[in-house]
Amino acid sequence: MSSDLRIDHKRNNFLRDVRAVVFDAAETLITVGPSRAATFRKALQGVGLERESSEVNIAFKLAELEVSISELSGGSRREQRLRLNQAVLSHLGLSIDGLPEIVFQEFESTQRHWQAIDGAKNVFQHLRSVGLRIGVGSNFSERCSEILSTCDLVPDFLVVSAICGHEKPSEEFFTLVEKACSFPRSNCLFVGDSLRLDYLPSRAFGFKSLLFDEYSVFGESFSRLTNLNDLIPLLDLIS
């Protein structure tokens, strides 16, 4: 197993009694193509700068931790993107006037489409084969169900911020997720890519939690997956 899970799940009964698995949507089950790292790199290359994809992906994760939730949800979409771009550039060691705007314009002019993240379809198939309930809990638009369907990912239930009126990491959001699960929170596993919006608040709420850390940004203190396919042998422990 390639994921760095520093827990003996059999000994600690980490996944014991799991009856439902809930996933975040964006950057956990689905992502956009071309990737945000590819689009960001293209903007940098346009002004004679070069960074590796891995550097940009890590910078995004660190920026999302650094920029406050209110900053990412307040103001216009352009203002939100500029704040995030500035934070990403800072983690890349770049401080050039006008560069956040150049990056924003590159994203605006790029035709992008949603696609399933590697392993997502396999995991959904396996969950169904072992009789576990599948959910999605996400800060997303009303189009979440439609986009998941086009990616051949159809959950049993969906809790979406734009529809339910609450956002992660609020307790109200996770309360709605628990109700949709049809099981007590101790029987639910939450999997997401955000430490701040997924892993920590779902764990504090009482769910079992796994951090999807695709780019190995976070340390060994967290129960984490670097590939969704690595969830399958863990789920086999309870099937």
User: How buried is residue 113: exposed, middle or buried, by Cβ count under 10 Å (0-12/13-18/19+)?
Assistant: exposed
Query: What's the fold here for domain 35-111?
Result: DNA polymerase; domain 1 (1.10.150)
Q: Amino acid letter at 231?
A: L
The answer to whether the Cα torsion of 143, 58, 39, 31 is positive or negative is negative
CATH placement of domain 9-31+114-235: 3.40.50.1000
- pLDDT-based confidence at 6, cuts 50/70/90? very low
Nearest to 210 by CA among 222, 227, 219, 220: 222
The answer to whether the Cα torsion of 7, 12, 18, 24 is positive or negative is negative
The model's pLDDT over 183-207, given as tens digits with 9 standing for 90+, comes to 999 999 999 999 999 999 999 999 9
- pLDDT at residue 21 in the model: 97
In angstroms, the CA 160 to CA 153 distance is 15
The model's pLDDT over 18-45, given as tens digits with 9 standing for 90+, comes to 999 999 999 999 999 999 999 999 999 9
Q: Is the pLDDT of residue 7 over 70?
A: no
Nearest to 79 by CA among 99, 58, 101, 94: 101
The answer to whether the Cα torsion of 151, 132, 218, 70 is positive or negative is positive
For the whole model, what pTM was predicted? Answer: 0.88
The model's pLDDT over 202-229, given as tens digits with 9 standing for 90+, comes to 999 999 999 999 999 987 778 999 999 9
Q: Diameter of the chain by CA atoms? A: 55
Mean per-residue pLDDT of the chain: 90
What are the domain boundaries of the chain? 9-31+114-235, 35-111
Q: Is the pLDDT of residue 239 over 90?
A: no
